[in-house]
Structure formats: structure tokens, C-alpha cells
Amino acid sequence: MKIVTNVPEELLKSNADEATPGSASLIAYAETTEDVSRFLKEAYENNTKVITIGSHTGLAGATYPQDGEAFLSLELMNQIIELDEETLTLTVEAGVTLNQIREYLSTTPYFYAPDPGAKDATVGGNASTNAGGMRAIKYGVTRDNIRGMEVVLADGQILTVGSKNRKDASGYALKDLFIGAEGTLGVITKLQLEIRPVLAYELSLLIGFDDLNNLAPVIFEILRAPISPVALELLDESSVKHAEVYTQTKMTNQAGRSFLLLTVNSNNQEGLQLELENLEQVIQASGALSTRILNAQEAKAVWHIRDNILNGIYAASTTKMYDPVVPVNRTPELLIKSKELGEQLGVETAFFGHAGDGNLHICILKFDMDDDQWKTVLATYTDKMNQLVASMEGLPSAEHGIGLEKKPYVKYFFDEGYIAVLRKIKLALDPKAILNPDRIFDL
């Protein structure tokens, strides 16, 4: 295992809001689970704080070094170990990226369902934040696509949680405890991922709106229809505009100022077409301005726009992105009120997200604001937006995690009794609190 004391500068800031680089004492590049175990055992004995890092794509400040912590990098643990077609599992090391998995499976009749935006993210990092993505409405989030894992505890103990079995009523579900824990309870080193057969046919429907209040009944009609969308994405005109500028392409001509992009798949082309046509009629009767079943070329163009929304927003301006989640029926209300909040503060907003599961990505853009004005607007918007989400029975993060960035706002969502239970779990598995210290909540 290679250990370097000169930590790469790009790792001293995360993708959150840190104004200055942090401080890390070293970075250790583990190549095996045994490397991780030995490193953590020594760190535990010496009370050394450790931050686990993968491909550095996190968006909540979870890997920002505050006080000379040691980095433990899993980027070299990037081997695909086994494709088991009899159990439909793919066993990989935690440093394997989504792009690697996609490329590996491209020559097989299978696919791995979770589809977060950062395809260079590691699957271990995805598990640590329970990443979602555009296909979560049909196939679930990362947690729903992991059968088993190998985890190293703070003291170096190697633990297997979950298994290739599909069912389990055998005591505590430890696997699910580590997923979404942002590295605070243990270091995930291997994963058994569930894979699925690729379906033969896929169709997309673009739905346009002039009135955002009409979104809620349309989403309801889609979700209660006898068809399971693969994706149900929300796009507003500002986010589309930035993606069009970035890609130098225009989205398929469609009436409306906001859009839902629906995709369905099946092995029966005729039945799929009929179901989508019936759904199109129901949607129009529910208040949509326009609907259109896209041909293959149109669908490719629209999805290209969707895939580049965040790139377009980032290219346009310094940006702050939030990833709250609310009950599905309140997604339009969150969009409307978040937009109104931006107007009150004089900041431009752009929106996109996963309408099918209530996860909306809210972006505010700096443009020509000076730094002091931006800092004030950012603090005010963040605080008011989190209070708004809490008032809607929502949560602060759907798929990016809490990290350091959202920690000050956890108080709006969870009472002290809830946090006290989290502290007990943390200290039971990491008594010296060396793993990703002070993330999510304070001890």
C-alpha cells in the first residue's frame, strides 16, 4: 500500500462550498481489503481520524479534510471480480466506477440499474450515499440493488453483510445500516450488485406544461397507471436553456415551459406502444398542455439535453445545487415556492429532477453577483429552502448525502431523540469516532 504525505491539492477541497483548501496529513492508496484493515487498525490504535475517498465526486462536503485527517483512497481497488449469471450478481471492488460496470456489461445481456449523474463515481461511494439517479422510480436506489458487501470496521475487523440470497429474515439487516452512512460506520471494500436482463424495447414520452400547478395531477395519473416508468424526469425552461447552450443543440420542438420526460421499457413492443398511447390520452385529460411520443432520434436528442443540464448550468455560472426530496404530490409546490424564493432574493434559479420520486434538484446561479452578495444570498436561500422542505414533510437529501454541508440544517428535520440514536449507533461501531468524523451530525 502506497502512502503519500504530499496530498494532491484537488483533494483538499470538495465539490461543496469550501472557500479555502482543507488540511490532510497523508493519503494511503489501498489495493486490497487487507490493506484497508491494516491501515484502519493502526489508525484506531493511534486515534488517527480517517476520511475515505473514491473518485472525489461527492457533492455534500463529506470528504473535505478539516483538521489534518488521513485520507484512505480506494481508487486502486478497481477490479471486477465475478459475474455470476446464475444468481444475477456482479461482484466488484469498491473503487470500480459506474462507467467500468457499464462497459463491462455492454457485451452481456445484463445491466446494472442505478444511474446517478456522475458516471465516473465509484460504486463504493454510491453505496455510501445511497445514490439514486434517473432509473430509481422503477428499479430503486443503490440500496435496492446491492445483495451483499464486505465492510471493514474502524478497528480493522473485516465483516460480511448481506449475501447473494434474495430473501433474508435472519436477524438485523446490517447491510442496510452501512449503505447511506457516508463512511461513518465502516469502509465498504467489496459489493455484490444485482444485475438485470436488458429489455428489448424502450419508448419515451415528452409532456409539456404552461402551468406548473398541473404537474401534480399528471404525475399522479402516471404513477397510478398500469405501467412502470423507467424514468420520470422534470425539466424547466431555464435548465433546458442552459443545456441547449452547452450542447449547441435544440431540444425537440414541444409546447410548454416545463416538461416531464417519461421513459418505459418492455420486451413487447406492440403492447408497450398501446399502453403509452392510452397513457398519453389520460395525461392530456389531466391538464397537460401537450404530449408527444418520441421516435428514436427525438428521444436521443431529448435525453442528450437531460443528461447535460447540470453541465450546462455549471458552464453558465458559479452554482449551488440542492437535492431535497418531498412527497411526490408536493414536487410542483416545492418547485414553485423555490422559484419564488429565488425571485425574492434576486437570484436566478434552474430546476430539474426525478419527478417520479419527489427528488428535485434546485440550482441557484451567481452570475455577476459580487462574492459578498453571493455569500449572503447563498446562506439565506439555503436556510429558507431547508425550512420550506421540512414544512412539506420532506428531507434534506435524496441522493447526495448530508456530509458537512447539510449538517447545520438537520435540526429542521430530526429531533434530538432521533440524533441521539444515531450517535449511539456510531459509537457502538466506531467508539473512538475516527471514521469520517463529524459528518452528518456532531457527537
CA dihedral sign of residues 428, 429, 434, 437? negative
What is the pLDDT confidence band of residue 128, given thresholds at 50, 70 and 90?
very high
Cell 449547441 belongs to 248
| Average pLDDT score over residue span 250-279 | 89
pLDDT in tens, 336-358: 999 999 999 999 999 999 999 99
What pLDDT is stored for residue 416 in this prediction? Answer: 96
* Nearest residue to 383 via CA among 396, 397, 402: 396
What is the pLDDT confidence band of residue 405, given thresholds at 50, 70 and 90?
very high
Grid cell locating 200: 428489448
What pLDDT is stored for residue 315 in this prediction? Answer: 95
Grid cell locating 58: 461527492
Q: Do residues 267 and 256 make contact, with C-beta atoms less than 8 angstroms apart?
A: no
* Nearest residue to 364 via CA among 354, 378, 352: 378
Q: Give Cβ neighbours of residue 337 (< 8 Å, ≥ 6 apart).
A: 388
Residue 158, pLDDT above cutoff 80: yes
Grid cell locating 323: 437535492
What pLDDT is stored for residue 224 in this prediction? Answer: 86
Average pLDDT of the chain to the nearest whole number: 94
Number of residues in the chain: 443
Q: Do residues 346 and 381 make contact, with C-beta atoms less than 8 angstroms apart?
A: no
Q: Return the axis-axis angle of helices 215-224 and 269-285, rounded to nearest 10°.
A: 150
Amino acid at 230: V
CA angle 67, 68, 72 (to 5 degrees): 120
| Three-state secondary structure call for residue 199 | coil
Residue 254, pLDDT above cutoff 90: no
Can you list the domains of the chain with their CATH numbers?
A: 2-73 (3.30.43.10), 80-197 (3.30.465.10), 201-245+255-309 (3.30.70.2190), 317-412 (3.30.70.2740)
What pLDDT is stored for residue 33 in this prediction? Answer: 98
What is the pLDDT confidence band of residue 18, given thresholds at 50, 70 and 90?
low
pLDDT above 90 coverage of the chain, percent = 86
Helices (H) and strands (E) in the chain, counts: 13, 18
First to last CA, the chain: 31
pLDDT in tens, 137-156: 999 999 999 999 999 999 99
Give bridge partners of residue 158 from the DSSP assignment.
Answer: 152
What pLDDT is stored for residue 306 in this prediction? Answer: 94
Residue 279, pLDDT above cutoff 90: no
Amino acid at 98: L
Give bridge partners of residue 236 from the DSSP assignment.
Answer: 258
Angstrom distance (rounded) from CA 309 to CA 303: 10
Cell 440542492 belongs to 322
* Nearest residue to 47 via CA among 63, 67, 76: 67
What pLDDT is stored for residue 47 in this prediction? Answer: 98
Angstrom distance (rounded) from CA 102 to CA 36: 26
Angstrom distance (rounded) from CA 178 to CA 435: 12
What pLDDT is stored for residue 226 in this prediction? Answer: 84
Amino acid at 304: H
Q: Do residues 158 and 145 make contact, with C-beta atoms less than 8 angstroms apart?
A: no
List Cα–Cα distances, 67 to 29, 36, 227, 340, 426, in angstroms: 20, 21, 51, 39, 20
| Average pLDDT score over residue span 354-373 | 95
DSSP for residue 97: B
Angstrom distance (rounded) from CA 206 to CA 380: 35
pLDDT in tens, 65-78: 999 999 999 999 99
What pLDDT is stored for residue 216 in this prediction? Answer: 86
Q: Give Cβ neighbours of residue 322 (< 8 Å, ≥ 6 apart).
A: 361, 362, 363, 382, 385
Element (H, E) at 213: none
| Three-state secondary structure call for residue 33 | helix
Give bridge partners of residue 89 from the DSSP assignment.
Answer: 84, 194
CA angle 126, 129, 132 (to 5 degrees): 65
Torsion of CA 198, 128, 10, 409, to 10 degrees: 120
Grid cell locating 35: 490493506
Q: Give Cβ neighbours of residue 106 (< 8 Å, ≥ 6 apart).
A: none
Q: Strand locations in 216-279, DSSP E?
A: 231-236, 258-266
Angstrom distance (rounded) from CA 38 to CA 21: 28
